[in-house]
C-alpha cells in the first residue's frame, strides 16, 4: 500500500476512534461483549455487567438519556428486535437520541455481511452528533461495511484519489487518470457483459460533467460487479458533488456499494406486481388481461393448432343466494384448482364471474373432452357441477376457436338445466305421492281402529290450532266451517251445544293447548269422561304423535262411546 494511502487510512482510523463515545464488539445472541473504547462521560461502568443488554438498559436508568428519547432507546436496544433486524440483512441500524446535557449521540449497530445466528458478532458504537445530522465520522464507520470503493474524482484534471478500495480488487498502480481507470475496470472483466453498455454510458466523463453542470444532483447506476467468490453481484455506483466543486473545477465523490439483496428484492417485488396484475385475485388463475395478451401471442406464434376448453361453473347464483358469497367463492376456487390439476402444463384463465378458459397447444380435442369429463366427475363428488365446451383449430383462428368452445358450453349448460328441471319435477311428484300415500296409510290405520265404537278422530296441531287429517261426523264439519276452521273454537262450540253443563268447564280446560302440551310432556295421554246432553256417556283420549317440529305439534283426539 502506498504511503499516501496509509496516511489516509490512519487519519480515518484516528478520527473515528476520537469521535466514538463507546465502541464494543458484541455477540447479539448471548450478549457477550468486549469494549474497544469506553467513555468516562457515561456514568455506568461496563465492568460490572456480563451482558451487553443489561449494560445498555442501565444507561437509560442512569438518566444519561433525555426522558423524551428513553422509550425509543429502550425499543432500539431490545435484544429480540436487534436480532430480527440484523438477521434480516440490515447492515447498519441507527438510533439518534438527545442526552440530558442537551447534546446528541448516535447509537449504531453495524454488522458484517456474514453475521448470522452461527456467527452473531456485531459492533455497538455510540458517537457524538448534532440534532439534525450525523457527524462526518459517523459516515466513516460505514465505509468498511457498506462500500466497495470510494474515490475522490477531479474531472477537470482527469485524476482520482482512492479513499477506500475493496481488498480483493487488483489495482494497477500505474493508472492515475479516472478515464483510464473506468476503462481498465471494465476490461478486467469486473462488469457483467450484459451491463457493459450501461456501465460505459454512465462512466462517460463528458456526460458526467454535463449532468452536474445542468442538474447538480446525485447520479446513480446499477450493474452486476464481479465478486471475490467468482460470481457477480448487483452494485450501485453513486457520484455526488465534492467539496470545492464548480463548473470549472469538477470535483466529485464516487461511491460503489453492494446492493444485491436490495436489488433482487426489488426485482422479486416487481415480478410479484406483474404477476398480481396478470392473475385473478380470488382463484390465482390467469385473468382476462393475460388471456387477451395470450390470444394475440398465440395468433402470432409457431403453434399449428390450438384446443380450447370453455367452462362455466353451474349454480353459482343459487349458492350465493342460499348459502352466501363465501360458499360461492369456495366453489369458484375449487373449480379453478381442479382445472389446474387436470391441465398442469396448459394455461388456465378465469375470464368472468363463473367462466373459465383453458388453451392447449399439445392436447387434441378428444383428449381435452375426456379430461373435462373427469373434471366434472371429480367436482360431482363435492356436489359441484360444470358445463363445458371444446373446440380446436388453427392458431390463426384462436378467437373463433374460443367462440366455438363457448357456444358448445352454452348448449351443454342448457342440457344440464333441462335435466335438472326434469329431476326437480320428478322429485316434486315423488314427494307429493309419498305425502298422499302417508295420509292414506294414516286413514286406513285409523279407520281400521275406529269401527262402530268411535264417534270421531281428530288430528289436531295444537301449535297452529288446525287439523291435518280427520275422521269426523258431518255435524262437526259444519262447526269447523262456522269457526273459520279454528279447532279450539269449533270444540268450544261443540261443548256449548252438546255437552252437559257440569262437564263443560272440564272439557274446555283441554282446549288450553299450551297447558295441554305441558301435560303431554309428562303423561302418555290425557283422558276425560263426560256426558252429552242426550245422556250418552263419552270418553275422550288425547295422545301426541311423532309429528313434532319447531312450527308443528300434532296430537290425536279420539272420541269413544263409553257405554
Query: pLDDT tens digits, residue range 262-288?
Result: 878 777 766 666 566 788 888 888 998
Rounded to whole angstroms, how far apart are CA atoms 138 and 110? 11
Is residue 437's pLDDT more than 70? Answer: no
Higher pLDDT, residue 301 or 226: 226
**CB crowding 136-161: b at 16 or more within 10 Å, else e:** ebbebbbbeebbbbbbbbbbeeeebe
Residue 346 has pLDDT above 50, yes or no: yes
Would you tell me the crossing angle of helices 52-61 and 67-76 to the nearest 10 degrees?
170
Number of H helices, E strands in the chain: 19, 19
Would you say residue 93 has pLDDT above 90? no
pLDDT in tens, 251-261: 998 988 888 88
390 and 309 Cβ atoms separated by less than 8 Å = yes
Q: Which pLDDT score is estimated for 552?
A: 77
* Residue of 37 and 368 predicted with greater confidence: 368
Highest mean pLDDT range out of 7-21, 165-179, 300-314, 500-514? Answer: 500-514
**Helices (DSSP H) in 133-259: which residue ranges?**
136-141, 143-146, 178-187, 196-202, 205-214
Per-position b or e across 302-339, b if 16+ CB within 10 A of its CB = eeebbbbbbbbbbbbeebbeeeeeeebeebbebbbebb
* From 5-9, 229-233, 503-507, the region with the lowest mean pLDDT: 5-9
* C-alpha–C-alpha distance, residues 329 and 346, integer Å: 23
Going by pLDDT thresholds of 50, 70 and 90, the confidence category of residue 426 is low
pLDDT tens for residues 104-139? Answer: 888 889 888 888 999 999 989 888 765 444 444 344
- Say what the pLDDT of residue 271 is: 63
Whether 124 and 96 have beta carbons less than 8 Å apart is answered as no
pLDDT recorded at residue 454: 62
Q: Name which of 8-17, 189-198, 301-310, 404-413 the model is least confident about.
A: 8-17
Least confident range from 71-80, 352-361, 422-431, 528-537: namely 422-431
What CATH code would you report for 144-265? 3.30.450.20
- pLDDT interval class at 209 (50, 70, 90): very high
Question: Residue 441: pLDDT band by 50, 70, 90 thresholds?
Answer: low
Q: 227 by DSSP, 3-state: which?
A: coil
Between strands 219-226 and 159-164, the pairing is unpaired
CA atoms of 333 and 338, how far apart (whole Å) = 9
Q: Lowest-pLDDT range, 118-122, 145-149, 264-268, 417-421?
A: 145-149
Read off the pLDDT of each residue in 216-241 and give the average, rounded to a whole number.
Answer: 88
Quick one: pLDDT band at residue 545, thresholds 50, 70, 90? confident
Q: Where are the beta strands (DSSP E) in 89-175?
A: 92-98, 104-110, 121-129, 147-154, 159-164
Average pLDDT on 180-205 reads 92
Q: Which residue would you say has higher pLDDT here, 33 or 300?
A: 33
Region 309-334 average pLDDT: 87
In order of 84, 358, 371, 372, 397, the CA distances from 306 in angstroms are 51, 10, 16, 16, 9
For all residues of the chain together, what is the average pLDDT? 82
Q: What is the model's pLDDT at position 421? A: 60
Report, as an integer, the average pLDDT of 508-533: 89
Taking residues 35-53, what's their average pLDDT? 84
Instruction: Write down the pLDDT at residue 355.
Output: 94
| Verdict on whether the full-model pTM lies above 0.75 | no
The pLDDT value given to residue 506: 92
Three-state secondary structure call for residue 94: strand
Instruction: Give the pLDDT score at 507.
Output: 92
Cell of 524: 302418555
Give me the residue label for grid cell 382463484: 283
pLDDT tier at 144, thresholds 50, 70, 90: very low
**The predicted structure's pLDDT at residue 137:** 39
- Domain 279-421, CATH: 3.30.70.270
CA distance 106 to 98: 9
Q: Among 7-11, 222-226, 376-380, which is the least confidently predicted range?
A: 7-11
Under 8 Å CB-to-CB from 488, ≥6 apart: which residues?
Answer: 465, 511, 513
Q: Do 144-265 and 451-561 agree at the fold level?
A: yes
Strand partners, 164: 150
Q: Given a cut of 80, is residue 435 above it in pLDDT?
A: no
Q: Looking at domain 17-134, does it have CATH number 3.30.450?
A: yes
* pLDDT, position 216: 83
Helices 474-482 and 487-498 meet at what angle, rounded to 10?
120
pLDDT of 176 strictly over 70? yes
CB 253 within 8 A of CB 178: no
Q: Answer whether residue 458 shows pLDDT above 90.
A: no
pLDDT single digits (tens) 351-384: 988 999 999 988 999 999 999 999 999 999 888 9
* Residue of 401 and 10 predicted with greater confidence: 401
Domain boundaries of the chain, sorted by first residue: 17-134, 144-265, 279-421, 451-561
CATH topology of domain 451-561: Beta-Lactamase (3.30.450)
Amino acid at each position: 500500500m502506498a504511503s499516501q494511502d496509509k496516511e489516509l487510512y490512519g487519519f480515518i482510523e484516528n478520527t473515528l476512534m476520537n469521535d466514538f463515545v463507546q465502541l464494543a464488539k458484541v455477540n447479539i445472541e448471548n450478549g457477550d461483549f468486549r469494549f474497544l473504547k469506553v467513555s468516562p462521560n457515561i456514568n455506568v461502568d461496563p465492568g460490572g455487567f456480563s451482558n451487553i443488554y443489561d449494560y445498555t438498559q442501565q444507561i437509560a436508568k442512569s438518566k444519561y438519556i433525555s426522558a423524551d428519547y428513553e422509550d425509543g432507546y429502550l425499543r432500539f436496544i431490545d435484544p429480540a428486535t436487534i436480532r430480527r433486524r440484523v438477521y434480516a440483512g440490515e447492515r447498519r441500524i441507527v438510533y439518534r437520541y438527545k442526552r440530558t446535557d442537551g447534546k446528541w449521540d448516535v447509537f449504531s449497530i453495524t454488522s458484517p455481511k456474514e453475521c448470522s445466528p452461527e456467527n452473531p458478532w456485531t459492533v455497538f458504537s455510540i458517537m457524538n452528533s448534532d440534532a439534525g445530522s450525523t457527524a462526518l465520522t459517523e459516515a466513516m464507520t460505514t465505509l468498511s461495511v457498506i462500500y466497495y470503493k470510494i474515490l475522490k474524482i477531479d474531472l477537470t484534471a482527469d485524476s482520482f484519489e482512492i479513499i477506500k478500495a475493496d481488498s480483493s480488487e487488483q489495482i494497477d498502480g500505474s493508472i492515475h487518470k479516472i478515464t483510464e481507470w473506468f476503462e481498465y475496470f471494465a476490461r478486467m472483466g469486473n462488469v457483467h457483459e450484459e451491463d457493459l453498455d450501461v456501465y460505459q454510458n454512465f462512466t462517460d466523463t463528458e456526460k458526467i460533467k454535463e449532468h452536474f453542470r445542468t442538474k447538480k444532483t446525485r447520479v446513480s447506476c446499477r450493474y452486476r460487479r464481479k465478486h471475490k467468490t467468482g460470481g457477480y453481484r448487483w452494485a450501485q455506483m453513486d457520484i455526488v458533488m465534492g467539496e470545492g466543486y464548480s463548473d470549472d473545477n469538477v470535483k466529485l465523490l464516487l461511491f460503489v456499494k453492494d446492493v444485491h439483496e436490495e436489488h433482487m428484492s426489488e426485482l422479486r417485488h416487481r415480478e410479484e406486481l406483474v404477476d398480481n396484475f396478470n392473475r385473478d385475485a380470488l382463484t390465482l388463475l390467469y385473468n382476462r388481461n393475460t388471456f387477451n395478451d395470450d390470444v394475440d401471442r398465440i395468433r402470432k406464434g409457431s403453434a399449428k393448432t390450438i384446443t380450447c376448453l370453455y367452462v362455466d361453473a353451474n349454480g353459482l347464483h343459487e349458492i350465493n343466494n342460499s348459502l352466501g358469497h363465501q360458499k360461492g367463492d369456495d366453489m369458484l376456487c375449487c373449480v379453478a384448482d381442479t382445472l389446474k390439476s387436470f391441465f398442469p402444463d396448459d394455461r388456465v384463465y378465469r375470464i368472468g364471474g363463473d367462466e373459465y378458459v383453458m388453451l392447449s397447444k399439445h392436447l387434441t380435442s378428444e383428449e381435452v373432452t375426456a379430461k373435462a369429463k373427469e373434471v366434472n366427475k371429480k367436482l360431482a363428488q363435492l356436489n359441484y357441477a360444470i358445463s363445458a365446451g371444446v373446440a380446436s383449430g388453427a392458431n390463426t383462428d384462436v378467437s373463433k376457436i374460443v367462440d366455438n368452445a363457448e357456444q358448445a358450453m352454452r348448449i351443454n349448460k342448457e342440457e344440464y338445466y333441462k335435466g335438472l328441471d326434469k329431476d326437480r319435477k320428478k322429485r316434486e311428484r315423488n314427494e307429493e305421492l309419498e305425502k298422499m300415500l302417508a295420509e292414506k296409510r294414516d286413514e286406513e290405520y285409523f279407520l281400521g281402529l275406529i269401527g262402530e265404537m268411535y264417534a270421531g278422530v281428530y288430528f289436531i296441531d295444537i301449535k297452529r290450532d288446525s287439523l291435518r287429517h280427520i275422521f269426523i261426523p258431518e255435524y262437526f264439519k259444519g262447526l269447523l266451517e262456522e269457526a273459520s276452521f279454528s279447532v279450539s273454537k269449533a270444540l268450544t262450540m261443540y261443548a256449548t251445544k252438546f255437552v252437559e253443563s257440569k262437564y263443560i268447564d272440564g272439557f274446555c280446560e283441554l282446549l288450553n293447548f299450551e297447558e295441554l302440551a305441558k301435560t303431554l310432556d309428562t303423561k302418555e295421554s290425557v283422558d276425560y269422561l263426560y256426558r252429552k246432553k242426550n245422556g250418552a256417556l263419552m270418553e275422550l283420549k288425547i295422545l301426541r304423535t311423532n309429528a313434532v317440529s319447531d312450527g308443528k305439534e300434532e296430537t290425536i283426539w279420539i272420541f269413544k262411546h263409553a257405554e
